[in-house]
Amino acid sequence: MDYSGPERRKYSRITGRFIVSYRMIDERDASIDVTQSKNISLVGMLLTTNRSFKPGSRLALEIRLPFDPHPIMMVAKVVESREITRDLIYDTRLEFIAVDDKHRKVIMETVNYYIKRG
């Protein structure tokens, strides 16, 4: 069910399918998985993942956005991981916890572009 109440987010969020690779930081020999974002803002994103993550888990991310030819690397913290299809697909909400100023600007440019494009 979609939320229909008032918008409470401080930062605008846009729907966007961007290629993201991710891996657990605190897991030995963690494999890298590739997926797509569902939405993104200046402070976080929603990903489709193939497993559940505990809140607070830290992920290393690499995302490709249209305003930078190079992938953006950052660290994010899991806010929630919700099962969509039993033992197969999860919606995982992330909060960015380590992203440099240059890449924060690229994320902001991407979000603003898609907002203006409507």
Residue 79 covered by a domain:
yes
Residue 6 covered by a domain:
no
Q: What does the pLDDT look like over 41-94, one tens digit per residue? A: 999 999 999 999 999 999 999 999 988 899 999 999 999 999 999 999 999 999
Kindly report the pTM of this predicted structure: 0.86
Count of domains observed in the chain: 1
Read off the CATH number of the domain in which 82 is found: 2.40.10.220
Residue 74 covered by a domain:
yes
Label residue 45 exposed, middle or buried (CB < 10 Å: 0-12, 13-18, 19+): buried
Residue 3 covered by a domain:
no
Residue 60 lies in domain: 13-117
Amino acid at 96: F
Task: Assess contact for 47 and 94: CB atoms under 8 A.
Answer: yes
Residue 31 covered by a domain:
yes
